[in-house]
C-alpha cells in the first residue's frame, strides 16, 4: 500500500497567460519513492477576485452615499434648534419682542431656549415699560406746555392792551393786577 506524505504547495506560476497553482506530493510505494507535481488552473479565481473587488468598490460608494445622507439628516436635526434660536433673535432685533422659541429638549440647547424665552419676555416687559413712561412724560410735557401757555397768553394780551391804550392810572392798575394774579 502506498504511504502518502504531506503535500507541499510551491506557489503559483503563469504559463501562456494562465495562472496555475503547483502542488507537489511524494508517494512511497513498494517499488520506490515518487514525486508527483500537480498544476491546477486558478485563473477563474482571478476573475472572481476582480469581480469581488468591483462589487466592494460599488458597495463602498453606495455605503458612503448612504452614510453621507444619514449624517446630513442627523446634522440638520441637531442644528435645527440653533436655527430656530437664530431666526427668533433676528426677529427680536427687527423689533418683534413677542418672539418666543419652542425647544423641548433636556440638553444644553433646551436650557438655552428657555433662557432665551426669559430674556425675550424681560425685554418685552422693559420695552412696554419704556413706552408707558414715554407716554407719561409726553402727557406731562403737554400739560406743562398748556399750563404755561395760558398765563403767558394773558400776559402778552394784557401787555399789548396796556401798550396800545392811553395812560390812565386806574385802567393800568386794573390790567397790571390781572397779569399779577
* pLDDT tens profile 8-51: 656 777 888 888 888 888 888 888 888 888 888 888 888 899 99
- Kind plus residue range of the DSSP H or E element containing 25: strand 18-29
Residue 7 confidence (pLDDT) above 60:
no
For the CA atoms of the chain, what is the radius of gyration? Answer: 52
pLDDT of residue 17: 83
Higher pLDDT, 57 or 100: 57
Q: Which of the residue ranges 45-49, 53-57, 68-72 would you say has the lowest mean pLDDT?
A: 45-49
Residue 58 confidence (pLDDT) above 90:
yes
How many C-beta neighbours within 10 Å does residue 103 have?
19
Tell me the pTM.
0.51
Confidence of residue 3 (pLDDT cuts 50, 70, 90): very low
HSE-up of residue 102 (Cα within 13 Å, Cβ side): 0
Q: Which of the residue ranges 53-57, 94-98, 160-164 would you say has the lowest mean pLDDT?
A: 160-164
Q: Are 27 and 4 in contact (CB under 8 A)?
A: yes
Residue 160 confidence (pLDDT) above 90:
no
> Which of 4-8, 40-44, 59-63, 169-173 holds the top average pLDDT?
59-63
Question: Burial code of 105-127, b = ≥16 C-beta within 10 A, e = fewer?
Answer: eeeebeebbeebbeebeeebeee
Q: What is the mean pLDDT of the chain?
A: 84
Distance in angstroms (rounded) separating the CA atoms of residues 78 and 59: 28
pLDDT of residue 2: 43
123 grid coordinates:
425685554
- Kind plus residue range of the DSSP H or E element containing 181: none
pLDDT of residue 179: 67
pLDDT of residue 156: 77
38 forms beta bridges with: 23
Amino acid at each position: 500500500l502506498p504511504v502518502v506524505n504531506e503535500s507541499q504547495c510551491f506557489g503559483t506560476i503563469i504559463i501562456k497567460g494562465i495562472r496555475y497553482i503547483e502542488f507537489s506530493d511524494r508517494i512511497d510505494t513498494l517499488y520506490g519513492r515518487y514525486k508527483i507535481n500537480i498544476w491546477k488552473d486558478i485563473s477563474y479565481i482571478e476573475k472572481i477576485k476582480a469581480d469581488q473587488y468591483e462589487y466592494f468598490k460599488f458597495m463602498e460608494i453606495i455605503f458612503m452615499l448612504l452614510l453621507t445622507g444619514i449624517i446630513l439628516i442627523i446634522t440638520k436635526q441637531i442644528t435645527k434648534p440653533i436655527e430656530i434660536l437664530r431666526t427668533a433673535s433676528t426677529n427680536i432685533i427687527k423689533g418683534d419682542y413677542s418672539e418666543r422659541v419652542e425647544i423641548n429638549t433636556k440638553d444644553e440647547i433646551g436650557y438655552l431656549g428657555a433662557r432665551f424665552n426669559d430674556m425675550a419676555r424681560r425685554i418685552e416687559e422693559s420695552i412696554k415699560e419704556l413706552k408707558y413712561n414715554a407716554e407719561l412724560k409726553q402727557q406731562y410735557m403737554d400739560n406743562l406746555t398748556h399750563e404755561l401757555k395760558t398765563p403767558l397768553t394773558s400776559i402778552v394780551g394784557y401787555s399789548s392792551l396796556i401798550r396800545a391804550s392811553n395812560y390812565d392810572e386806574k385802567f393800568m392798575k386794573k390790567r397790571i393786577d390781572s397779569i399779577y394774579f
